[in-house]
Amino acid sequence: MLENLLNQHPVNPDSASSIMRETITSQFEIGGAPSLSSRSTPPDIRITAGNANAGFTSLSAALDYLESHPTGSVWAMNWDAPEFPLDERMSENFALLILAGPNYDTEREPLAWVGRPATRNANDFEVQSGQPRLVQAWRAAIDEAAYNAGRPLTDVGYLIHDAGKASDAAGKRIATLGQALGEPLPEFDILKQGFNNTALMGDTGAGTALTNVALAIAYAHHKGTPVLVAGTTEADTAAAVVVTPPARARVFDPANDWFRARGERNAYLPWWGLRRDVDWSRYRQGYSE
């Protein structure tokens, strides 16, 4: 199954699904060649159109599918070019997460574990002294996201968010998120232990959430610490997911070369967990086959 997220520009879901189905069948032979594919039917394509937080909805739908199809796999994919028709912009983005069900044997170690996203709306809370409704919504979303990942919130060691470039709106988003994290994580430094991706890349539109989840997977995998991903761009909504490291994290050594920094040809190769039947020491950092 492919859970595909597109931006909110006018789009015909049926047409988009048909194009994606034909492309995947043609390029990857999924459902098209019995000798190459274990499936006899084309993949099920589901289209979601939305904004920066829509990726959390798309990811939830992907996890719902795996819960009901534990031996299956699902692609969660998003892309956007918010500055179109301008091209070659930093904000152009594409992310593809290939997720496997709990009973699907990939014969590989996992890159990371992705918890179920949690979303809360400020309008569902009452104003309390020192606790604005949006802060309460964030506390509830963060607590649930950590619970869904099976880890206490105090285990979270890093934050990836989308507050954006310096502005009044970005400052308010960071302040609200910082207040929500301040009580359960009093020593957490949101500036030093966080990465504001859209401050670097600009508005990444519908690609924001899953791009940040992909970054969280990389950080958790290489640093061995749980990562909180926060979607802050909707004024009254708190969206969060926690990504946790695998049992065997490939801790990144900054003193050594990283394979994917060798240039564009390598940077865009798929990143898989290492096979269980190989000696990990044979492989350069960032390399998988």
Dump pLDDT digits (tens) for 103-129: 999 999 899 999 999 999 999 999 888
Tokens of residue 185, six digits? 């994580």
pLDDT value for 94: 84
Q: How far is CA 163 from CA 109, 141, 187, 206, in A?
A: 33, 17, 21, 15
pLDDT value for 159: 98
Give the integer Cα–Cα distance in Å for 177 and 228.
11
Q: Which domains does the chain have, with CATH numbers?
A: 2-100 (no CATH), 113-244 (3.40.47.10)
- In this prediction, the residues of the chain whose per-residue pLDDT falls under 70 are 1-11, 32-39, 260-264, 266-267, 289
pLDDT value for 262: 63
Q: What is the pTM of this model?
A: 0.90
Distance of CA 176 to the CA centre of its chain: 22
